[in-house]
Amino acid sequence: MTYNFNEIEAKWQKYWAENQTFKAENTSDKPKYYVLDMFPYPSGAGLHVGHPLGYIASDIYARYKRHKGFNVLHPQGYDSFGLPAEQYAIQTGQHPAITTETNIATYRKQLDKIGFSFDWSREVRTSNPEYYKWTQWIFIQLFESWYNNNTNKAEHIDTLIAKFSSEGNTNINAVCDDNVISFTADEWNNFSSEKQQEILLQYRLTYLAETEVNWCPALGTVLANDEIVNGVSERGGHPVIRKKMTQWSMRISAYAERLLQGLDTIDWTDSLKESQRNWIGKSVGASVTFNVKNHDETIEVFTTRPDTIFGVSFMTLAPEHELVTKITTPEQKADIDAYIQATAKRSERDRMADVKTISGVFTGAYAEHPFTKEPIPIWIGDYVLAGYGTGAVMAVPCGDQRDYDFAKHFNIDIPNIFEGVDISQEAFADKDNTIITNSDFLNGMNYKKATKRAIFELEQIGQGEGKTNYRLRDAVFSRQRYWGEPFPVYYVNGMPQMIEQKHLPITLPDVEKYLPTESGEPPLGRADVWAWDTQSNQVVSNDKIDDKTVFPLELNTMPGWAGSSWYFFRYMEEQANRGNTFASEEALQYWENVDLYIGGSEHATGHLLYARFWTKFLKDRNFVGVDEPFKKLINQGMILGTSAIVYRVAGTNKYVSSGLKNDYEVEELRVDVNMVNASDEIDIEKLKQWQPQFADAEFELEDGKYIVGREVEKMSKRWFNVVNPDNICEQYGADSLRLYEMFLGPLEQAKPWNTAGITGVHGFLKKLWKLYHQGEDVNLKNDPNFYLHDPKKDGVYSAFKAVKRGIGLPDVEPTKDNLKTLHKTIKKVEEDIENFSFNTSVSTFMIAVNELTTQKCTSKAVLEPLLVLLSPYAPHITEELWSQLGNTQSIATAPFPKFEEKHLVESSKNYPISFNGKMRFTLELPLDMSKDDIEKTVMAHEKTQEQLQGRTPKKVIVVPGKIVNIVG
């Protein structure tokens, strides 16, 4: 009976599906545990071996937790809205819904082959109208909320309206637009409806505003900050420019402090928390108001160093600052205009590329120092960013290197306000060793004291206050795309109106072309049926728009992160009960939040931040009961591809083997890795068929082989280094794939894939199989019965073999060695799983199986628990052996074996003895020996050694040190 993994795996995958083995229940006596993967975007390329890494890890943990007696929720779904499907639609004209459907089917098929314990009955797809109905609903809730700084949470907009009409807005402490006007209750009540809506929009948690956005002409869409890498789009690497557009935004800045504080309550890696902290970018300091001389204007700046206020010798405004045109003197106007134009032309990328070049222009205007009343020249310079703080800085050249460089470059005065510090070469930015001087009332103070005093004095004269600034910007929520959630919004006189919940979902309309226009007109602008009828409450044809009862609908769609910001709540509800809520109160209360979340670190400042934001919002409005969505988070590392390279002699059609490449001038070409064997030898026949250019090529071999070069890089179709998990499952089985992916190295680390190594774990599984089918070796050829059976009929043959060597060996009492091996393994595997070091437990299994094989262990009391330990890693083979041992229930329900220390206890142990740190001899001592006896024994041996080695040891230590130390 051989280990037929294909048969076994298909059998048990079918069994699990039919018996709904992994279906989670929303009520249970057991404690709950929620294990979640970041759901995949189903691309057309399908899965490669890198994708399932995190899923395997989470699956091991989920299965382990089931053995440990938890009610485990382990769902899976698809993040199915997004750009690639739309790009494909643009190219082929195929509706993205259709390609998405096809891709999902492929993904599902591939995932099923790996034997995950997903509860598919809870699947979600973000592009499914029944799902995005609730994404739209959450959007409406955000629209109907404002952030109350006094209660420090979001509240329904009605409570704000009530306050407005009873007391106006002067005493309201809310997160809102900077430009909001002050009004009394009377004024509010007399405002027109439009005016009221306009004001409320400045308070809502999602709002419509003219914002400067990152516009990517090539993609025809707006990108969020986290979708831009080095000034170009993350996807495709297209240039990005700044552009003003009316967009929906999310007031995530209201949650900046809570998003920061919340990090202390969750179990994430330090590096990930640190990225979020940096992204939120809290800085504590002061805002200072400078009056502009000869103008009725003020400039507000943010500074983290109010203690250096007397060191200000100039101010710099961002070129985009609105005051620039107002204060520039006629003499300077030409220069300023030229500079502004030049800056506007430069892309974000150019601006970042030459950080070194110092540029700027004097406006001709002067501000007035709040304390000394001295004139301060006002400059503009592109080192000041319009998007951070107030877009203006008070420049303290002696304390800030950029200000210093700027001052040096333009010969501006550099007053020194630091005692005993030389600033002739560079600025002095060390806060901790600062004593302020030349600064009036701040003289002699350190950083801390001076800061406090400076803020106090600024407040006294009404020209500043302590302020905390965050780098976190409000998130733009509009995309000029087709394949995304439509907004549940229509416009009356230009003011957005929400469609009532009972009329949701608003489904995507059909359009002729999916391409956005260069000018930024969204694809939904092409839809003929895309207007809202407030009478019939349905979407109707555009030509019915009459501005009385039929109104235009929003043309933008939501960004990719909309659907992924709450999907983990959707899984909590079983599909059958999802009708009336996004998840029922009972389900939300039971499952609370995700206990373990596994996914890539690339989502650190995108998805993970937005999901935390929405969760906090939903909690504020009492829709969910938790403040943080993901208690523990692990980032799995990427699995890299190992590309294969052939070397073509330049200008010829001759290819030389890797070892000979230095003899020629060669070009490197990447070829399909699947044609290369474990020893880097390529199959030339396959290569010739692979691409026509190789068909009649000449090959120069070494030792009769063509050896390829290797390069480790990202797994990608364009490098021909993609390894398909289906092929691995076919050839070695899913259990081998699962074990091998874990065996490759630590989960969180990036590592290259190398198919050759899989024979190690595959061999282990074969050995395991043998261990459970051991017995006397029977020479079938000499067995007369052999000829009674038809060896070609596998069933008969196998049955014969099974009787002779089968699993039905007599059960015997386990030996001490058997139990030691087992309990050693239990201990290690349990520790490993709890620490997510799955790679080392694979080794532990290998050792255990080798030991038990040597021990010829046939005891059920050892073989059964061993299967349970291994079952999270290799679920198929363990199910099969488990059932062969006579169990009728799935192994998934078996309890995790209990570790017993007593089986590891030994009567004596070899202790190495060290002399001056060098190991000289070992001593076998009973474990329960007293300290005195040990000392005596050691001294005796010391004497012997002294004679043997002819030298006197100074100190003798018996290790392990915690047992005894003898110093003498």
Partner RNA sequence: GCUGAAGUGGUGGAAUUGGUAGACACGUUGGACUUAAAAUCCAAUGGCCAUUAUGGCCGUGCGGGUUCAAGUCCCGCCUUCAGUACCA
Which segments are annotated as binding site for ATP?
717
Q: How would you class 433 by CB atoms within 10 Å of its CB: exposed for 0-12, middle for 13-18, buried for 19 or more? A: exposed
914 binds RNA (CB under 7 A): yes
Among 162, 695, 756, 796, binds RNA (CB under 7 A): 756
727 binds RNA (CB under 7 A): no
Q: Which helix (H) or strand (E) holds 884?
A: helix 875-884
383 binds RNA (CB under 7 A): yes
Report the nearest approach of RNA to the CB of residue 319 (Å): 11
Which residues make beta-bridge pairs with 32?
A: 71
Report the nearest approach of RNA to the CB of residue 581 (Å): 36
Among 36, 90, 222, 384, binds RNA (CB under 7 A): 384
842 binds RNA (CB under 7 A): yes
Q: Tell me the window of 34-42, 366-374, 719-727, 737-745 that interacts with RNA (CB under 7 A).
A: 737-745
**CB-nearer residue toward RNA: 289 or 601:** 601
Which residues make beta-bridge pairs with 238?
A: none
Sign of the dihedral through C-alpha 554, 557, 559, 562: positive
Q: Which helix (H) or strand (E) holds 216?
A: strand 206-216
Q: What is the length of the chain?
A: 968
Strands 908-915 and 392-395: unpaired
**CB-nearer residue toward RNA: 49 or 508:** 49
Give how many residues touch RNA by CB under 7 A: 83
* Count of alpha carbons within 13 angstroms of residue 83, beta-carbon side: 17
Rounded to whole angstroms, what are the CA distances from 62 to 65, 175, 864? 5, 41, 20
Among 420, 651, 784, 917, binds RNA (CB under 7 A): 917
Rounded to whole angstroms, what are the CA distances from 41 to 62, 117, 131, 938? 22, 20, 16, 66
* Residues between 674 and 703 with contacts to RNA, criterion CB under 7 A: 678-679
SS3 content of the chain, % helix, strand, coil (to 5): 40, 20, 40
908 binds RNA (CB under 7 A): no
Decide if 22 contacts 15 (C-beta within 8 A).
Answer: no
**CB-nearer residue toward RNA: 182 or 910:** 910
Report the nearest approach of RNA to the CB of residue 734 (Å): 18
Instruction: State both tokens at 299.
Output: 């400039």
The 3-state secondary structure of 281-306, one letter per residue: CEEEEEEEEEEECCCCCEEEEEECCH
Among 389, 560, 641, 709, binds RNA (CB under 7 A): 389
Decide if 715 contacts 753 (C-beta within 8 A).
Answer: yes
Give the whole-angstrom CA distance, residue 181 versus residue 203. 12
Give the residue ranges of the annotated binding site. 717
Instruction: State both tokens at 481.
Output: 């795309």
Report the nearest approach of RNA to the CB of residue 820 (Å): 14
Q: How would DSSP label each residue in 723-786? A: --HHHHHHHH-HHHHHHHHHHTS-TTS-EE--GGGHHHHHHHHHHHHHHHT------GGG-GGG
Q: Tell me the window of 43-51, 522-530, 764-772, 872-880 that interacts with RNA (CB under 7 A).
A: 764-772
Report the nearest approach of RNA to the CB of residue 269 (Å): 7
Among 559, 752, 814, 897, binds RNA (CB under 7 A): 752
* Residues between 236 and 275 with contacts to RNA, criterion CB under 7 A: 269-271, 274-275
Among 338, 385, 803, 948, binds RNA (CB under 7 A): 385
Give the whole-angstrom CA distance, residue 329 versus residue 235. 44
**CB-nearer residue toward RNA: 31 or 968:** 968
Q: How many CB atoms lie within 10 A of CB 636?
A: 26
Among 549, 691, 843, 893, binds RNA (CB under 7 A): 843
Sign of the dihedral through C-alpha 609, 612, 614, 620: negative
Among 261, 517, 536, 916, binds RNA (CB under 7 A): 916
Report the nearest approach of RNA to the CB of residue 945 (Å): 12
Among 62, 598, 744, 857, binds RNA (CB under 7 A): 744
**CB-nearer residue toward RNA: 41 or 569:** 41
Report the nearest approach of RNA to the CB of residue 419 (Å): 21
Cis geometry, peptide bond prior to residue 505 (ω within 30 degrees of 0): yes
**Alpha helices of 50-190 — where are they, by DSSP H?**
52-67, 83-92, 96-113, 129-143, 157-167, 185-190
Give the whole-angstrom CA distance, residue 813 versus residue 857. 10
110 binds RNA (CB under 7 A): no
Report the nearest approach of RNA to the CB of residue 285 (Å): 5
Report the nearest approach of RNA to the CB of residue 508 (Å): 31
Q: Which helix (H) or strand (E) holds 317?
A: strand 314-317
283 binds RNA (CB under 7 A): yes
388 binds RNA (CB under 7 A): yes
Report the nearest approach of RNA to the CB of residue 666 (Å): 23
* Residues between 170 and 229 with contacts to RNA, criterion CB under 7 A: 225-226, 229
Among 402, 621, 654, 804, binds RNA (CB under 7 A): 402
Q: How many CB atoms lie within 10 A of CB 569?
A: 27
Strands 32-37 and 71-73: parallel
* Residues between 289 and 308 with contacts to RNA, criterion CB under 7 A: 302-305
Among 52, 96, 285, 641, binds RNA (CB under 7 A): 285
Q: Angle at the Cα of 141 (from 140 to 145), degrees rounded to 5? A: 115
944 binds RNA (CB under 7 A): no
* Residues between 463 and 492 with contacts to RNA, criterion CB under 7 A: 469, 471
751 binds RNA (CB under 7 A): yes
Cis geometry, peptide bond prior to residue 960 (ω within 30 degrees of 0): yes
- Which residues, at least 6 apart from 794, have a Cβ–Cβ distance to it below 8 Å? none
Report the nearest approach of RNA to the CB of residue 910 (Å): 5
839 binds RNA (CB under 7 A): yes
Instruction: State both tokens at 274.
Output: 């640190």
**CB-nearer residue toward RNA: 117 or 635:** 635
Report the nearest approach of RNA to the CB of residue 831 (Å): 8
Among 97, 245, 959, 966, binds RNA (CB under 7 A): 959
Among 46, 552, 760, 775, binds RNA (CB under 7 A): 760
Report the nearest approach of RNA to the CB of residue 292 (Å): 18
Backbone angles phi, psi at 297, to 5 degrees: -125, 155
* Residues between 767 and 806 with contacts to RNA, criterion CB under 7 A: 767
**CB-nearer residue toward RNA: 101 or 300:** 300
Q: Tell me the window of 187-195, 590-598, 834-842, 933-941 that interacts with RNA (CB under 7 A).
A: 834-842
Backbone angles phi, psi at 131, to 5 degrees: -85, -50
**CB-nearer residue toward RNA: 169 or 605:** 605
Q: Angle at the Cα of 41 (from 39 to 42), degrees rounded to 5? A: 115
* Residues between 812 and 831 with contacts to RNA, criterion CB under 7 A: none
The DSSP call for residue 516 is P
Q: Tell me the window of 60-68, 69-77, 599-607, 805-813 that interacts with RNA (CB under 7 A).
A: 599-607
Q: Tell me the window of 584-592, 621-629, 864-872, 910-918 that interacts with RNA (CB under 7 A).
A: 910-918
**CB-nearer residue toward RNA: 545 or 739:** 739
**CB-nearer residue toward RNA: 583 or 737:** 737
Residue reference for tokens 């060597």? 805
Interaction pattern, residues 522-541, with RNA; x per rule: CB under 7 A:
--------------------
Among 181, 334, 352, 695, binds RNA (CB under 7 A): 352
> Which of 532, 513, 534, 533 shows the shortest CA–CA distance to 524?
513
Buried-state track 359-387, b at ≥16 Cβ within 10 A, e below 16: bbbbbbbbbbbbbeeeebbbbbbbbbebe
Among 400, 573, 726, 735, binds RNA (CB under 7 A): 400
